[in-house]
Amino acid sequence: MKTEKEKMLAGEVFNVYDPELVKERRYARQLVERFNALGEMNPTASIALIRQLFGHVGANCEVHAQFKCDYGYNIYVDDDFFANYDCVMLDVSPIRIGKHCLLGPRVQLYTVNHPLNPKLRRNGAYGQSEDINIGNDVWIGGGAVICPGVTLGNNVIVGAGSVVTTSFGNNVVIAGNPARIIKENPYSE
């Protein structure tokens, strides 16, 4: 029989209030609170907390406060990562972000969802999740929302305020609600 954490990581319906998961979220929130309290005051201590929190951090990572996440260990960022103010990463499933990526202020990455069954959805006791994968050289504009299960290819630009509900390939500029391709990105490598 699977534990609730194993179900969570497998993308199955899981009990949000499982004691192990509650404990892990509490630990992550303590690190997040310490990180946010530092603000811009001590960049060395800030990045040390991010490295302790995230599952992987490449070279040259910068995250501005106020940052929020659920677990932290499901966030994997590669080299040259930047997250502006007020980013939220609900990392119930893994969030993988490639090299040279920029997140504007208030970008929201949501891997978690509630079940379609209303009986399971009541009281918020159950969740279900899907990974988010973001390629290299991606810029996500301020206030954009990336929904569960989305994959963005390399060299994608997401317009500010967009809601991305489906996956997109390489070298496109997307925007809107729901996001759609508005043009090809001519600056592919």
Token pair for 39: 């603000």
CA 5 vs CA 13, 23, 121: distances in Å: 10, 11, 18
Annotated catalytic residue within 56, 64, 100, 114: 114
Q: Where are the beta strands (DSSP E) in 11-110?
A: 14-15, 56-57, 61-63, 68-69, 75-77, 81-83, 88-90, 95-97, 101-103, 108-110
Is there a catalytic annotation at residue 64?
no
Token pair for 97: 């972000």
Please identify every residue annotated as catalytic. 114
